[in-house]
Structure 1
Amino acid sequence: MTAADLDARDPLREYRSRFHTDDADPVVSYLDGNSLGRPTTASIERVSTFMTQAWGGRLIRGWDEEWFELPITLGDKLGRVALGAAAGQTVIGDSTTVLLYKIARGAAALRPDRTEMVLDRDNFPTDRYVLESIASELGLTLVWIDSDRRSGVRTADIADVVSERTAFVLVSHVAYRSGFLADAPAAARVAHDVGALLVLDLSHSVGSVPLRLDEWGVDLAVGCTYKYLNGGPGSPAFAYVRAEHLPEFRQPVWGWMGRADAFAMEQGYVPAEGVRRVISGTPPVLGMIAMQDTLDMIGEVGMEAIRAKSVALTEYALELVRSDLVPLGVEIASPENADERGGHVTLDHPDFREVTARLWTRGVIPDFRAPSGIRLGLSPLSTSFEEVRIGVLAIAEELRGRT
């Protein structure tokens, strides 16, 4: 079936028109939605209106009217439409790095008599660096999983290293490099069998893969909002803390907005009830504006339909890769079984660093991941099958031009 046929039959095709494109600098194939999503036209209007009316008009009254509660009300909405999380467990707040630090330190504090943290060597650098800092800070031991870069962390890998010494296991639900989709409920069971906690990094799965955090038994999670949620560069991340852990959850960055009765300005820190205790200082209200329209779309469409489109896009991309790129020496560096793959596909070739730079000049935008990978990040609501076709054929043309 051709790209034109697939686009004509796409039940989500109408949603592509809701995203802004810049006619002055045309991009013919945007394949980097797993790094930075396109802005929606509604969000551009929403941000402008916020500047002139909510901020410019209501001024400081906005805190009483909406902003003070926005990290939690928006967190509840995210939990409902995309995380499979009941209200009161999700909050929007700091950067992914800062929230991961808070969540990981809080996880360690929930298991104070345990001395080990488990993660894999191919996890995203921030995840590795944050846990390395916590290990140094608290005198804990990092237990490393040597996962396959073209696959990811499997349940058996976790089972091989956890023990009664394990405080928590940190896993990226979708691996940033390969796109491997971890079996989260199985990982939770393996961690719980030894009394440990499971922490998930959802940065590459939220908005692309259906999540059921409550049902799966996930203990804590973090994720960013500027990929498939289209929150914009540096938009704030989110954190999830399972309800049963909230009464005892303690995070290390104490700030006034995470205190009980924040405006009392009293001496001494007492954590707020519920998920508000994850908050530290004044939340980035402006950074929360753009993602709201994508959350509305996810609520309209449903994550199952989004996942079906995501699988169709990656399957079509792989079909083209096998026919047009593999004969040119390209290797597929992602799982070829859709059940084990998230929303992006990674390809390897020794010339891809230079090829990526050349692609960008012709309006074809994938991203490069060292040492030799191009990632095709296919955002289901905004990416067309025609964009995939144009992008893969452009890669083939660049490779042929280098031989």
Structure 2
Amino acid sequence: MDTFLKKAITLDKTDHLAHFKNYFENDPAMIYLDGNSLGKLPLKTIETTSNIVNNQWGKRLIRSWNENWMDLSGDIAKKIAQIVGAQPDEIFVGDTTSINLYKLLFASLSIQKDKTEIITDDLNFPTDLYIIQGLINQQFKNHTLKVLKSENEIFMDDLKIKSSLNTKTAVITLSLVSYKSSFLYNMETVNNLAHKNNSLVIWDVSHAAGATTIKLNETNADMAVGCTYKYLNGGPGAPAFLYVRKDLQEKLNNPIWSWFAHKNPFDFDSNFVENPGIQKFAISTPSILSLGAIAPGLDVILEAGIKNLQTKSNNQSEFLIELIQHYLVPLGFKMVSPLNNKQRGSHIAIEHPESYRINLAMINPINKKEKVVIPDFRPPSFIRIGITPLYTTYLDLYEAVIRIVEIVKTKEYAAFSTTKLKVT
């Protein structure tokens, strides 16, 4: 038996988190390695959403607002707070990541009166840059955006952050984990650097929450945004969340004055009175069907324990890196993600000139007896292998790498077009 295969089997047998895989919808003919983009369906979610539709909406109708729905966002916020190291009254759940980032950036720039520079980097998710560009174009025309250049879209040195700060820096906004390379910032280091300069920091934790330890309070983080449909397994397009440190909440104002941001929305007052707490960052009526689907995934994470998940993620990443170096590097692949697990999130990126077509061959095997292996592709030539420690096995990782070897050696990828699909 192959040494790595034997090791994978042994590691799975001794994995005390292995049973959590059974909490999710599973297809034995598929290896799913894209949980860093869309998490699997928790089985409990089927029951939960069925109850919301059939009972709460179907039978209780509008009475469900008082019975279940008005407190739903707050209940979910309590769970997310435990996962990201915050207090329940520092988390708001609702809207989208982009809308939440817009609200926090607008609010932050509005109170930094004499500071006109925004700093981000080229590792950040493109949409985050679009939000900044739009704000400068539409509302903050005197502001400028500085995009720090990384090392080959892989790594950012803290010294570059430090040297970029100046008296005009209002806000730094970064992804805690880079969506491409999986580079992981040291949140505390960046926060401290910014605060010495009286600058604010907004973190996007979308590619970290649920698989990577996040300590918003402990690192004195100012603000953060994140989505719930990756490692948090909340479902496609599930509502996002935002975090604002308690002492900052009264200083920041939601630029969108709306019904659910009102102090007493059901007084139907014609004049806006801002909610004094985290709820001030709400906008409209909560999306109950999608909001309700988030809780089961969070419950599984809380049961497993984020520290345990982080440990397993690190161990699986190390195993995957061994496999890549042994099997794939000799075939022309390059490691993209940092080798140091203190600088890496919970996915591994590899690079090859034919990455896009290799990715297609993994998802659509010509031999229908082969397992479907689902990673994803990111330009220019990266395959991302997402490790979701709740349900990814060591054997999954071994079999996925062996499948890539087969695709490359037989040139199976040549049967696929280079034309990009709408979703990659």
TM-score interval, normalised by the smaller of the two chains:
over 0.9
Query: 1:65 & 1:162 partners in 2: Cα distance?
Result: 49
- Asked whether 1:196 is paired with 2:205, we answer no
Of 354-363 and 341-350, more deviation after overlay is shown by 354-363
Equivalent position of 2:75 in the other structure: 73
Contact 2:155 2:338 in 1 (8 A): no
1:126 is aligned with what amino acid? Answer: T
Query: 2:155 & 2:262 partners in 1: Cα distance?
Result: 39
Matched residue SS, 2:256: coil
Matched residue SS, 1:47: helix
- Asked whether 1:18 is paired with 2:23, we answer yes
- Asked whether 1:371 is paired with 2:380, we answer yes
Query: 1:170 & 1:365 partners in 2: Cα distance?
Result: 31
Query: 1:104 & 1:253 partners in 2: Cα distance?
Result: 12
Equivalent position of 1:389 in the other structure: 398
Contact 1:3 1:386 in 2 (8 A): yes
Equivalent position of 2:36 in the other structure: 34
1:220-251 Cα deviation digits (max 9, x unpaired): 00000000000010001100011011112112
Contact 1:258 1:271 in 2 (8 A): yes
Query: 2:51 & 2:352 partners in 1: Cα distance?
Result: 46
1:72 is aligned with what amino acid? Answer: G
Matched residue SS, 1:44: helix
Matches within 5 A, 1:219-230: 219-230=222-233
Matched residue SS, 1:346: strand
Residue in structure 1 matching 2:354, options 324, 332, 351 = 351
1:358: Cα distance to partner? 1.1
Structure 1 residues 111, 69: closer, same or farther in 2, change over 3 A?
Answer: farther
1:378 is aligned with what amino acid? Answer: I
Matched residue SS, 1:247: coil
Cα RMSD (Å):
1.3
Matched residue SS, 2:88: coil
1:253-302 Cα deviation digits (max 9, x unpaired): 22111111111221222211200001000111111222212211222221
- Asked whether 1:48 is paired with 2:28, we answer no
1:71: Cα distance to partner? 1.6
1:45 is aligned with what amino acid? Answer: E
Matches within 5 A, 1:244-259: 244-259=247-262
Matches within 5 A, 1:246-325: 246-325=249-328
Q: Mark the runs of 5 or more structure 2 residues left unpaired by the alignment.
A: 1-5, 366-371, 413-424
Matched residue SS, 2:218: helix
Query: 1:33 & 1:330 partners in 2: Cα distance?
Result: 22
Query: 1:63 & 1:113 partners in 2: Cα distance?
Result: 44
Matched residue SS, 1:128: helix
1:21 is aligned with what amino acid? Answer: N
2:314 is aligned with what amino acid? Answer: V
Matched residue SS, 1:34: coil
Matches within 5 A, 1:77-116: 77-80=79-82, 82-116=83-117
Query: 1:194 & 1:202 partners in 2: Cα distance?
Result: 23
Equivalent position of 2:161 in the other structure: 158
Equivalent position of 2:61 in the other structure: 59
1:340-387 Cα deviation digits (max 9, x unpaired): 111000000010111111110131100000110000001010111111
TM-score norm. by structure 2 comes to: 0.92
Contact 1:163 1:194 in 2 (8 A): yes
Matched residue SS, 1:2: helix
Matched residue SS, 1:222: strand
Contact 1:180 1:335 in 2 (8 A): yes
1:156: Cα distance to partner? 1.4
1:55 is aligned with what amino acid? Answer: W
Contact 2:117 2:144 in 1 (8 A): yes
1:283-332 Cα deviation digits (max 9, x unpaired): 11111222212211222221110001101111111111001100000000
Residue in structure 2 matching 1:207, options 205, 210, 214 = 210
1:22: Cα distance to partner? 4.3
Matched residue SS, 1:392: helix
Query: 2:75 & 2:158 partners in 1: Cα distance?
Result: 34
1:191-210 Cα deviation digits (max 9, x unpaired): 00110011100001100111
Of 344-353 and 290-299, more deviation after overlay is shown by 290-299
Equivalent position of 1:133 in the other structure: 134
TM-score norm. by structure 1 comes to: 0.96
Contact 1:152 1:182 in 2 (8 A): no
Query: 1:236 & 1:208 partners in 2: Cα distance?
Result: 18
Q: Paired residues, what number?
A: 399
Matched residue SS, 2:377: strand
- Asked whether 1:328 is paired with 2:331, we answer yes
Query: 1:101 & 1:401 partners in 2: Cα distance?
Result: 48
1:335: Cα distance to partner? 0.2
Query: 1:283 & 1:117 partners in 2: Cα distance?
Result: 31
Of 337-346 and 286-295, more deviation after overlay is shown by 286-295
1:178: Cα distance to partner? 0.5
Matched residue SS, 2:224: strand
Matched residue SS, 1:169: strand
1:9-35 Cα deviation digits (max 9, x unpaired): 111001011111247xx31x1110100
Matched residue SS, 2:249: helix
Query: 2:355 & 2:343 partners in 1: Cα distance?
Result: 25
Of 375-384 and 392-401, more deviation after overlay is shown by 392-401
Q: Mark the runs of 5 or more structure 1 residues left unpaired by the alignment.
A: none
1:66: Cα distance to partner? 2.6
- Asked whether 1:118 is paired with 2:127, we answer no
Contact 2:76 2:294 in 1 (8 A): no
Matched residue SS, 2:61: coil
Contact 2:162 2:193 in 1 (8 A): yes
1:152: Cα distance to partner? 3.0
Provide runs of 4+ in structure 1 moved above 4 Å. none
